[in-house]
């Protein structure tokens, strides 16, 4: 395309963007303070609490929705849903929607959760007198500040007195003060039950699900590695003597594994769908600096490589740096309820940090079990990701630290006195893959300038093998072989990555149209 043509396209894009923002500005001019409060409440699952606190106008809310792609010029339906919900239906014409169109689309395109809708509908029917009575009953646990019905319900939610699975307190209040609201709560329960009910399982995959509670059945490290005792000792010997580590891959315990193995061999053509509206989201948690642990130089190179390769594969990449325990929980909750999953093919979550067996460190020094991170995305917790591949990659040590050489560092912290809860297995159902940089009990290595052995190998093999239409497990096998051959300059430090999975089909990413340039 000529430079003149590119300039013309750029000008047209800019004009379109200005026009859409002009539309949002017009909508904002019709919205009052009460409307803004209602919008903020409805967006509690879409915008982080910290950012919501900063929103003083509808424009502030629109800005965050635009930044996170909840709202785009091509697809403004989320805003249409919000305006419809707060009864500003006359404003739908600015988005070129009619009331009837929104009503028809809501059952399949709804982005506000059932729980959020329930609370909003209840707030609409709680009069000021009803509210006073509810506050009176809970006076000892409610701050003495002016409250609306929305802020009252938001407070109960923030204090974890109510949530989507626990409405006991709310039911008690409604029964005593506004009994007719119980119909809305009962309706919510029915809709929620039908929403999370799993569809019928095909016969060829039925045995995979029966009795499957955990990815790896163990209560401590010995049980986890119990299926491979000789290989485990062999690796430990290789670590201490500088010999080449023997490549291993984690065998999943239980009858479901045999089923998975036989399915893989007999159904070679079974692959996950990769033709929805977008590939999905890739989250990268990149911890470089810590309050009480050593820094991780080289990790920014890893984060940048992950961003480049997953954007190349079509993912929408979100990177979070130096994430505290509280911030991590916000990120997990945000993506657990993200409506964009409904139109995505896949989900990827990467963690670059220090670690111990079965857990990773937040930037403020808290140990977070890997199990806890993954549990946010099960079919029950995140229905929009049901039957879709969920890939987790962890660059962190899973065992004891040794003295590193000058240019090689270990992503480990002294493992003594690990809390028993961290010895638990990693919980997961079908359609999960966990890629650990190293086998449990051992360390992983990171070059202070070039990045970690594992992430750099993953980046290079995705770049090289996706165009050959290799599936993700074949790619990770190549990563295992590559990393197992690496060593520090003295040849004494070795590493063996560890994949574990309950995938039912092959994960084959479509070949990108453009080459990934170095």
Q: Which residues does the annotation mark as catalytic?
A: 354, 397
The two tokens of residue 498 are: 């560890």
Residue in the block written with tokens 């635009």: 66
C-alpha to C-alpha distances, 443 to 150, 235, 392, 398, nearest whole angstrom:
49, 12, 18, 6
The set of residues, in sequence order, having a beta carbon less than 8 Å from that of 378 and lying 6+ positions away, is 427, 428, 429
The residue among 112, 70, 99 whose CA lies nearest residue 24 is 70
Strand order in the sheet with 359-361: 355-356, 359-361, 367-369
d(CA 476, CA 49): 37
Bridge-partner residues for 410, per DSSP? Answer: 445
C-alpha to C-alpha distances, 188 to 86, 182, 380, nearest whole angstrom:
19, 10, 16
Find the angle CA(390)-CA(222)-CA(416) to the nearest 5 degrees. Answer: 90
Strand order in the sheet with 390-395: 316-321, 278-286, 344-352, 390-395, 432-436, 498-501
SS3 label, residue 255: helix
The two tokens of residue 364 are: 């403020």
């Amino acid at each position: 395309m000529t430079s003149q043509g590119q300039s013309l396209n750029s000008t047209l894009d800019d004009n379109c963007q200005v026009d859409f923002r002009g539309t949002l500005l017009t909508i904002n001019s019709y919205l009052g303070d009460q409307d803004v409060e209602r919008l903020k409440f409805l967006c509690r699952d879409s915008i982080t609490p910290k950012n919501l606190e900063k929103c003083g106008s509808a424009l502030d809310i629109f800005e965050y929705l635009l930044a996170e792609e909840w709202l785009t010029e091509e697809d403004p339906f989320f805003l249409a849903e919000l305006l419809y919900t707060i009864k500003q239906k006359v404003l739908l014409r600015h988005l070129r929607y009619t009331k009837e169109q929104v009503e028809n689309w809501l059952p399949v395109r709804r982005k506000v959760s059932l729980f959020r809708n329930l609370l909003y509908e209840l707030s609409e029917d709680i009069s000021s007198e009803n509210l006073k009575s509810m506050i009176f009953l809970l006076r000892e646990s409610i701050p003495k500040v002016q409250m609306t019905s929305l802020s009252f319900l938001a407070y109960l939610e923030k204090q974890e007195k109510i949530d989507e699975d626990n409405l006991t307190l709310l039911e008690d209040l409604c029964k005593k003060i506004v009994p007719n609201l119980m119909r809305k709560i009962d309706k919510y329960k029915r809709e929620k039950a039908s929403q999370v009910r799993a569809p019928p399982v095909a016969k060829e995959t039925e045995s995979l699900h029966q009795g499957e509670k955990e990815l790896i059945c163990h209560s401590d490290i010995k049980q986890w590695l119990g299926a491979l005792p000789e290989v485990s000792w062999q690796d430990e010997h290789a670590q201490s003597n500088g010999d080449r580590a023997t490549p291993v891959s984690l065998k999943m315990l239980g009858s479901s594994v045999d089923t998975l193995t036989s399915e893989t061999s007999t159904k070679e053509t079974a692959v996950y769908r990769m033709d929805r509206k977008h590939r999905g989201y890739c989250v990268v948690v990149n911890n470089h600096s810590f309050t009480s642990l050593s820094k991780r130089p080289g990790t920014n190179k890893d984060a940048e490589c992950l961003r480049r390769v997953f954007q190349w594969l079509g993912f929408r990449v979100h990177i979070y740096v130096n994430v505290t325990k509280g911030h991590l929980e916000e990120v997990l909750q945000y993506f657990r309820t993200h409506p964009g999953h409904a139109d995505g093919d896949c989900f990827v979550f990467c963690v670059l940090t220090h670690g111990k067996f079965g857990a990773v460190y937040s930037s403020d020094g808290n140990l977070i079990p890997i199990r806890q991170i993954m549990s946010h995305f099960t079919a029950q917790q995140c229905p929009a990701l049901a039957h879709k591949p969920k890939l987790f990659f962890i660059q962190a040590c899973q065992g004891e630290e040794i003295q590193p050489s000058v240019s090689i560092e270990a992503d480990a912290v002294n493992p003594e006195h690990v809390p028993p809860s961290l010895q638990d297995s990693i919980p997961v159902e079908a359609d999960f893959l966990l890629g650990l940089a190293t086998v449990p009990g051992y360390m992983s290595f990171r070059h202070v300038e070039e990045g970690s052995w594992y992430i750099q190998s993953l980046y290079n093999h995705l770049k090289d093998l996706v165009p050959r239409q290799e599936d993700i497990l074949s790619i990770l096998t190549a990563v295992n072989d590559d990393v197992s051959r690496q060593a520090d300059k003295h040849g004494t430090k070795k590493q063996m990555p560890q994949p574990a999975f309950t995938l039912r089909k092959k994960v084959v990413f479509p070949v990108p149209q453009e080459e990934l340039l170095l």
